[in-house]
Amino acid sequence: MTAIVEVKGVHKRFDVAGAWPWSPRRQVDAVCGVDLVVGPGEVVALVGQSGSGKTTLSRMVLGLENPSQGEIWIEGRRWDTLPEAERQKQRVHYQYIPQDAMSALDPQQTVIEAIEETLVVLGGRAPADARAAAAAMLSRLGLPHRHDALPRELSGGEQRRVTLARVLALSPRLVVADEPTSGLDPDRRASVLEALVGNLPEGAGCILVTHDLDAAVDYCHRAVVMLEGQVIEVVDLKHQDAQHPYTRSLLDPWHHSRGTP
Protein backbone atom coordinates (compact mmCIF):
# COMPACT_ATOMS: atom_id res chain seq x y z
CA MET A 1 0.00 0.00 0.00
CA THR A 2 1.40 3.40 -1.02
CA ALA A 3 2.28 5.70 1.87
CA ILE A 4 0.56 9.06 2.06
CA VAL A 5 3.87 10.69 3.04
CA GLU A 6 7.40 9.35 2.89
CA VAL A 7 10.30 11.53 4.01
CA LYS A 8 13.77 10.18 3.26
CA GLY A 9 16.90 11.56 4.90
CA VAL A 10 15.72 15.17 4.86
CA HIS A 11 17.96 18.02 5.97
CA LYS A 12 17.14 21.72 6.18
CA ARG A 13 19.83 24.35 6.58
CA PHE A 14 19.13 28.06 7.00
CA ASP A 15 21.48 31.00 6.46
CA VAL A 16 21.20 33.25 9.50
CA ALA A 17 22.44 36.82 9.78
CA GLY A 18 24.91 37.69 12.53
CA ALA A 19 24.09 39.82 15.55
CA TRP A 20 25.53 42.96 13.87
CA PRO A 21 25.41 44.22 10.27
CA TRP A 22 29.11 43.45 9.88
CA SER A 23 28.91 40.01 11.50
CA PRO A 24 29.40 37.06 9.15
CA ARG A 25 26.37 34.99 8.22
CA ARG A 26 26.22 31.49 9.61
CA GLN A 27 24.40 28.30 8.76
CA VAL A 28 21.97 26.61 11.14
CA ASP A 29 20.79 23.03 10.73
CA ALA A 30 17.08 23.00 11.62
CA VAL A 31 16.40 19.43 10.47
CA CYS A 32 19.10 16.75 10.27
CA GLY A 33 18.59 13.50 8.36
CA VAL A 34 14.95 12.83 9.24
CA ASP A 35 12.92 9.87 7.96
CA LEU A 36 9.14 9.80 8.34
CA VAL A 37 6.32 7.65 6.97
CA VAL A 38 2.59 8.29 7.27
CA GLY A 39 0.36 5.51 5.99
CA PRO A 40 -3.25 5.71 4.80
CA GLY A 41 -5.60 6.29 7.73
CA GLU A 42 -2.71 6.93 10.11
CA VAL A 43 -2.40 9.84 12.54
CA VAL A 44 1.23 10.54 13.40
CA ALA A 45 2.27 12.99 16.11
CA LEU A 46 5.37 15.06 15.42
CA VAL A 47 6.47 15.90 18.94
CA GLY A 48 9.13 18.14 20.43
CA GLN A 49 9.80 21.37 22.23
CA SER A 50 9.99 24.74 20.45
CA GLY A 51 12.99 24.83 18.12
CA SER A 52 13.18 21.05 17.72
CA GLY A 53 12.53 21.25 13.97
CA LYS A 54 9.01 19.84 13.87
CA THR A 55 7.34 22.87 12.27
CA THR A 56 10.11 23.17 9.68
CA LEU A 57 9.70 19.49 8.82
CA SER A 58 5.92 19.81 8.51
CA ARG A 59 6.30 22.81 6.19
CA MET A 60 8.68 20.83 4.01
CA VAL A 61 6.17 18.00 3.77
CA LEU A 62 3.63 20.43 2.31
CA GLY A 63 6.18 22.11 0.03
CA LEU A 64 6.11 25.41 1.91
CA GLU A 65 9.86 25.00 2.47
CA ASN A 66 12.28 23.10 0.25
CA PRO A 67 14.72 20.63 1.84
CA SER A 68 18.44 21.28 1.54
CA GLN A 69 18.95 17.56 1.10
CA GLY A 70 16.81 14.41 0.98
CA GLU A 71 13.52 13.45 -0.64
CA ILE A 72 9.82 13.95 0.10
CA TRP A 73 7.23 11.72 -1.55
CA ILE A 74 3.46 12.12 -1.35
CA GLU A 75 1.23 9.28 -2.52
CA GLY A 76 4.09 7.72 -4.44
CA ARG A 77 5.09 10.90 -6.26
CA ARG A 78 8.28 12.85 -5.68
CA TRP A 79 7.03 16.12 -4.19
CA ASP A 80 10.02 18.29 -3.30
CA THR A 81 11.35 18.46 -6.88
CA LEU A 82 7.94 18.91 -8.51
CA PRO A 83 7.55 22.33 -10.20
CA GLU A 84 5.43 24.69 -8.12
CA ALA A 85 2.88 24.99 -10.92
CA GLU A 86 2.28 21.24 -10.64
CA ARG A 87 2.26 21.26 -6.84
CA GLN A 88 -0.30 24.06 -6.84
CA LYS A 89 -2.78 21.85 -8.70
CA GLN A 90 -2.52 19.21 -5.95
CA ARG A 91 -2.57 21.42 -2.86
CA VAL A 92 -6.33 21.11 -2.42
CA HIS A 93 -5.66 17.46 -1.46
CA TYR A 94 -2.90 18.29 1.06
CA GLN A 95 -4.11 20.76 3.64
CA TYR A 96 -2.60 22.77 6.51
CA ILE A 97 -4.28 23.75 9.77
CA PRO A 98 -2.47 26.73 11.32
CA GLN A 99 -1.69 27.29 14.97
CA ASP A 100 -3.21 30.79 15.12
CA ALA A 101 -6.84 30.29 14.16
CA MET A 102 -7.86 33.92 14.65
CA SER A 103 -5.29 35.29 12.20
CA ALA A 104 -6.26 32.60 9.67
CA LEU A 105 -9.88 33.76 9.58
CA ASP A 106 -11.15 36.85 7.75
CA PRO A 107 -12.56 39.10 10.49
CA GLN A 108 -15.31 40.32 8.14
CA GLN A 109 -16.55 36.86 7.09
CA THR A 110 -19.12 34.85 8.95
CA VAL A 111 -18.30 31.25 9.80
CA ILE A 112 -20.33 29.76 6.97
CA GLU A 113 -19.02 32.30 4.45
CA ALA A 114 -15.43 31.31 5.25
CA ILE A 115 -16.10 27.63 4.61
CA GLU A 116 -18.28 28.29 1.58
CA GLU A 117 -15.56 30.44 -0.02
CA THR A 118 -12.97 27.70 0.53
CA LEU A 119 -15.20 25.12 -1.15
CA VAL A 120 -15.89 27.40 -4.12
CA VAL A 121 -12.35 28.72 -4.67
CA LEU A 122 -10.30 25.63 -3.81
CA GLY A 123 -12.85 22.86 -4.17
CA GLY A 124 -14.50 24.09 -7.35
CA ARG A 125 -18.00 23.65 -5.91
CA ALA A 126 -21.05 25.59 -7.08
CA PRO A 127 -22.10 28.23 -4.49
CA ALA A 128 -25.39 26.55 -3.56
CA ASP A 129 -23.70 23.17 -3.19
CA ALA A 130 -20.87 24.78 -1.20
CA ARG A 131 -23.34 26.39 1.22
CA ALA A 132 -25.02 23.04 1.92
CA ALA A 133 -21.70 21.24 2.35
CA ALA A 134 -20.43 23.99 4.68
CA ALA A 135 -23.54 23.73 6.84
CA ALA A 136 -23.21 19.95 7.02
CA MET A 137 -19.57 20.14 8.10
CA LEU A 138 -20.34 22.73 10.78
CA SER A 139 -23.02 20.44 12.17
CA ARG A 140 -20.55 17.54 12.28
CA LEU A 141 -18.13 19.70 14.23
CA GLY A 142 -20.72 20.87 16.74
CA LEU A 143 -21.27 24.39 15.38
CA PRO A 144 -24.73 24.28 13.77
CA HIS A 145 -25.80 27.39 15.67
CA ARG A 146 -22.78 29.55 14.77
CA HIS A 147 -23.22 29.98 11.00
CA ASP A 148 -23.60 33.76 11.15
CA ALA A 149 -21.01 34.45 13.84
CA LEU A 150 -17.88 36.49 13.10
CA PRO A 151 -14.48 35.20 14.30
CA ARG A 152 -14.30 37.71 17.16
CA GLU A 153 -17.62 36.39 18.48
CA LEU A 154 -16.30 32.84 18.80
CA SER A 155 -14.50 31.19 21.70
CA GLY A 156 -10.97 29.92 21.15
CA GLY A 157 -12.19 26.36 20.76
CA GLU A 158 -14.87 27.42 18.26
CA GLN A 159 -12.31 29.33 16.20
CA ARG A 160 -10.17 26.18 15.99
CA ARG A 161 -13.13 24.09 14.89
CA VAL A 162 -13.92 26.58 12.13
CA THR A 163 -10.38 26.19 10.77
CA LEU A 164 -10.88 22.42 10.97
CA ALA A 165 -14.18 22.68 9.10
CA ARG A 166 -12.58 24.72 6.32
CA VAL A 167 -9.97 22.03 5.76
CA LEU A 168 -12.06 18.90 6.35
CA ALA A 169 -14.83 20.10 4.03
CA LEU A 170 -12.35 19.68 1.14
CA SER A 171 -11.98 15.94 1.91
CA PRO A 172 -8.16 16.13 1.86
CA ARG A 173 -5.91 13.07 1.62
CA LEU A 174 -3.34 14.65 3.95
CA VAL A 175 -3.82 17.06 6.84
CA VAL A 176 -0.91 18.73 8.62
CA ALA A 177 -2.11 20.36 11.84
CA ASP A 178 0.43 22.71 13.46
CA GLU A 179 -0.27 22.90 17.21
CA PRO A 180 -4.06 23.15 16.62
CA THR A 181 -4.81 23.19 20.36
CA SER A 182 -2.18 25.68 21.50
CA GLY A 183 -3.43 27.97 24.25
CA LEU A 184 -6.62 26.02 24.97
CA ASP A 185 -7.60 24.52 28.31
CA PRO A 186 -7.57 20.69 28.57
CA ASP A 187 -11.28 20.19 27.88
CA ARG A 188 -11.23 22.35 24.77
CA ARG A 189 -7.99 20.70 23.59
CA ALA A 190 -9.68 17.31 23.79
CA SER A 191 -12.77 18.49 21.90
CA VAL A 192 -10.68 19.98 19.08
CA LEU A 193 -8.56 16.84 18.71
CA GLU A 194 -11.67 14.65 18.75
CA ALA A 195 -13.19 16.84 16.04
CA LEU A 196 -10.05 16.61 13.92
CA VAL A 197 -9.32 12.91 14.23
CA GLY A 198 -12.97 11.85 14.22
CA ASN A 199 -13.74 13.67 10.97
CA LEU A 200 -10.72 12.83 8.84
CA PRO A 201 -11.76 11.40 5.46
CA GLU A 202 -11.43 7.64 5.20
CA GLY A 203 -7.87 6.67 4.30
CA ALA A 204 -6.47 10.17 4.84
CA GLY A 205 -3.15 10.64 6.64
CA CYS A 206 -2.60 13.23 9.34
CA ILE A 207 0.50 14.78 10.90
CA LEU A 208 -0.23 16.41 14.25
CA VAL A 209 2.53 18.82 15.24
CA THR A 210 2.51 19.18 19.01
CA HIS A 211 4.63 19.49 22.13
CA ASP A 212 1.99 17.58 24.10
CA LEU A 213 2.90 13.89 23.91
CA ASP A 214 0.33 13.04 26.56
CA ALA A 215 -2.48 14.21 24.25
CA ALA A 216 -0.92 12.38 21.32
CA VAL A 217 -1.20 9.08 23.22
CA ASP A 218 -4.99 9.36 23.08
CA TYR A 219 -5.41 10.44 19.46
CA CYS A 220 -2.42 9.23 17.40
CA HIS A 221 -1.05 5.90 16.22
CA ARG A 222 2.64 6.81 16.44
CA ALA A 223 4.78 9.60 17.81
CA VAL A 224 7.90 10.81 16.07
CA VAL A 225 9.91 12.63 18.72
CA MET A 226 12.33 15.35 17.63
CA LEU A 227 15.14 17.06 19.52
CA GLU A 228 17.57 19.58 18.01
CA GLY A 229 16.49 18.73 14.48
CA GLN A 230 16.83 14.97 14.80
CA VAL A 231 14.37 12.13 15.40
CA ILE A 232 15.41 10.52 18.68
CA GLU A 233 12.58 8.00 19.01
CA VAL A 234 9.54 6.65 17.17
CA VAL A 235 6.91 5.22 19.50
CA ASP A 236 3.97 3.02 18.55
CA LEU A 237 1.53 4.68 20.93
CA LYS A 238 -0.92 1.77 20.89
CA HIS A 239 1.59 -0.93 21.79
CA GLN A 240 4.80 0.59 23.18
CA ASP A 241 5.94 2.75 26.03
CA ALA A 242 8.49 5.50 25.51
CA GLN A 243 12.09 4.48 26.16
CA HIS A 244 14.14 7.63 25.63
CA PRO A 245 14.41 9.84 28.76
CA TYR A 246 13.50 12.95 26.77
CA THR A 247 10.37 11.29 25.40
CA ARG A 248 9.33 10.17 28.88
CA SER A 249 9.87 13.72 30.14
CA LEU A 250 7.28 15.00 27.66
CA LEU A 251 4.58 12.77 29.12
CA ASP A 252 2.37 14.11 31.87
CA PRO A 253 3.73 12.53 35.08
CA TRP A 254 0.16 11.66 36.11
CA HIS A 255 -0.65 9.86 32.86
CA HIS A 256 -1.46 6.21 33.55
CA SER A 257 0.35 3.58 31.55
CA ARG A 258 -1.80 1.74 29.02
CA GLY A 259 -3.40 -1.27 30.60
CA THR A 260 -3.21 0.17 34.11
CA PRO A 261 -6.61 0.62 35.79
- Structural domains present in the chain: 5-101+174-250 (3.40.50.300)
What H or E segment, with its residue span, contains residue 163?
helix 156-168
Mean pLDDT in residue range 83-93: 92
Other C-beta atoms closer than 10 Å to the C-beta of 213 total 23
Model confidence at 260, in pLDDT bands (50, 70, 90)?
Answer: very low
Which parts of the chain are beta strand (E)? Answer: 5-16, 26-38, 43-47, 69-74, 77-78, 94-97, 174-178, 205-210, 222-227, 230-236
Q: How far apart are CA 48 and CA 55, in angstroms?
A: 10
Q: Is the pLDDT of residue 236 over 50?
A: yes
Report in angstroms the alpha-carbon separations of 230 from 7, 32, 37, 80: 13, 5, 15, 20
Other C-beta atoms closer than 10 Å to the C-beta of 19 total 6
Other C-beta atoms closer than 10 Å to the C-beta of 10 total 23
Give the pLDDT of residue 259. 40
Residue 215's identity, in one-letter code, is A
More confident residue, 20 or 109: 109
Give the pLDDT of residue 4. 97
Give the pLDDT of residue 189. 87
Report in angstroms the alpha-carbon separations of 186 from 6, 192, 212, 236: 32, 10, 11, 23
More confident residue, 191 or 204: 204
Q: Are strands 174-178 and 69-74 parallel, antiparallel or unpaired?
A: unpaired
pTM of the model: 0.89
Give the pLDDT of residue 211. 82
